[in-house]
Amino acid sequence: MAIVVGTKSIDVNNPGSSVVTHNHTQDVGSNGFLVVCINHNNTATISTIKYNGVTMTSRLYYNSSTFSSKWGFWVLPNPATGTNQVRVDFTGGVYQAVCMQVFSFTGASSSGGIVGNNDSAARPHSRNRSPVTAGSRMILMSTSSASPGTVNNTINGVVIFKKNVTNGARRLSAGVSNSVLPAGTINATATTSANWKTLSNQTLEIKEFVSTSPVTTVSPTTLSGFTYVDGSGPSTAQSITYSIADATGDLVTTAPTDYEVSNSEAGTYTQAFTHSGPPTGPFTTYVRLKTGLAVNNYTGNITLVSTGATTKTVALTGSVTERPRRRIIIC
């Protein structure tokens, strides 16, 4: 299930108290994921962040002596959908702006990916992050002493999108990679102009949801009418369509003893064949009753087997019939 980048909301709040609240709307969809990016002055410390009353998990919370501020990522898998409250509780009163950016995703794994932080590096601030999982997205958050432009943050050289800047004691810029990422290493770059004195670079990977239980689908689940007359054969082939989601190994299709299968209607028919993993499909398989069988009825099941998945079957029914007898009439 591919990750979908949903709603983003921003908030700059100077509460003058120990609590900041912000309303955010989580998109409807399976495997939801919520990320709060936050930056505030370092005279107080965040004790909890909750969404709809549920405590979020801190993935990064950094105290920067250079910026005199703190920043970090908080995450929550499967958050409540609709509009709900983000509540930030501090250990004491906050009297400078709290900058917050909130991202919603669907199709995301509940386990957070890699996270990284670098403070006050040379300009431009460029860092490699590894190991990235194929199909994931990356949030790039930078904190600076001046407002970045619309094209200043990139992932693998591509400008990030859904990017906004919140201006508090320090500027917080955050956005998401423009497309899904390949496996391996990505480069996150925060660019700056000469008058910017300091610049940080933080990243958080959002992984694609992948089921731990592969699921095979097949249609139809029964086939009948495989027949031919004794001495001829094989029967006419019929087709089966199937696919598998989240496979971790090969997918093996096996015919019962008196039947045979092939990847194409006019191709070579065998007892079994393998789609090397991880396969996806959809696949079309052709099945027929073998030639040379005796007069009889023939039933059995095609089986589709993949590691960790429930075995699927297709029930087959066919027959070989007697050749009609010739009648000789003597006049």
Tell me which fold the domain 215-321 belongs to.
Immunoglobulin-like (2.60.40)
Sequence spans of domains, the chain: 4-206, 215-321
Q: What is the pLDDT of residue 327?
A: 65
Structure tokens at 294: 């005796």
| pTM greater than 0.85 (yes/no) | no
Residue 329: the pLDDT is 67
pLDDT tens per residue across span 274-324? 988 778 778 999 999 999 999 999 999 999 998 878 889 999 999 999 988
Query: DSSP letter string over 8-52?
Result: EEEEEE--SEEEEEEEEEEPPSSS-EEEEEEEEETTS-EEEEEET
Question: What region, left, alpha or beta, does residue 120 occupy, with left being phi > 0 and alpha being psi -120 to 50 degrees?
Answer: left
Which pLDDT tens digit goes with each residue over 68-114?
889 999 999 999 999 999 999 999 988 888 999 999 999 999 988 99
Mean pLDDT (the chain) is: 89
Structure tokens, 306: 């993949």
